[in-house]
């Protein structure tokens, strides 16, 4: 029986990377919530994890509930905890090599909130305009 290799994904099964992404997301979330006692990380939410095709690097995207100060504090806390998170992942997951972790602030949540706010303002204004026109 021949074994096929998918060359479009760098030799790694795409389903495998998706599975590893989901597992890393679960494990890192659990580590941040249960094992790290850094108050700067209390409002951090992981939005997604993207592991490289060779499984050596993982981009961990996060969002923060709060203002710019909270975001900066969380960034510093995550950078400080990066080595510990990687060490704990190596203990919790059965991987040949534990990926290098890079934490990246995910602006998409912030942007979607701004878009939603703008849409709400438009809805509110358009609700006023028809009644104002009918009075004239």
Q: What is the DSSP string of 58-99?
A: EEEEEEESS-HHHHHHHHHHHHHHHHHHHHHHHHHS--SSPP
**pLDDT tens, position by position, 36-72:** 999 999 999 999 999 999 999 999 999 998 889 999 9
Please report, for the chain, the start and end positions of each structural domain, with discontinuous segments joined by +.
Answer: 7-105, 108-136
Closest CA to 99 of 75, 115, 83: 83
Q: Could you tell me if 52 and 101 are in contact, meaning their C-beta atoms sit under 8 angstroms apart? A: no
pTM: 0.74
Q: Tell me: the pLDDT tens digits for 61-115?
A: 999 988 899 999 999 999 999 999 999 999 999 888 999 999 999 988 777 777 8
Q: Which CATH superfamily is domain 7-105 in?
A: K homology (KH) domain (3.30.300.20)
């Amino acid at each position: 029986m021949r074994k096929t290799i998918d060359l479009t994904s760098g030799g790694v099964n795409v389903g495998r990377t998706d599975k590893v992404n989901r597992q890393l997301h679960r494990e890192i979330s659990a580590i941040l919530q249960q094992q790290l006692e850094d108050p700067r990380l209390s409002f951090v939410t992981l939005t997604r994890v993207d592991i490289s095709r060779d499984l050596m690097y993982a981009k961990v995207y996060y969002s923060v509930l709060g203002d710019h100060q909270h975001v900066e504090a969380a960034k510093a806390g995550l950078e400080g905890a990066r080595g510990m998170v990687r060490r704990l992942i190596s203990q919790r997951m059965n991987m040949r090599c534990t990926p290098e972790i890079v934490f990246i602030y995910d602006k998409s949540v912030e942007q979607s909130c701004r878009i939603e706010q703008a849409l709400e303002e438009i809805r509110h204004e358009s609700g006023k305009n028809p009644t104002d026109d009918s009075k004239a």
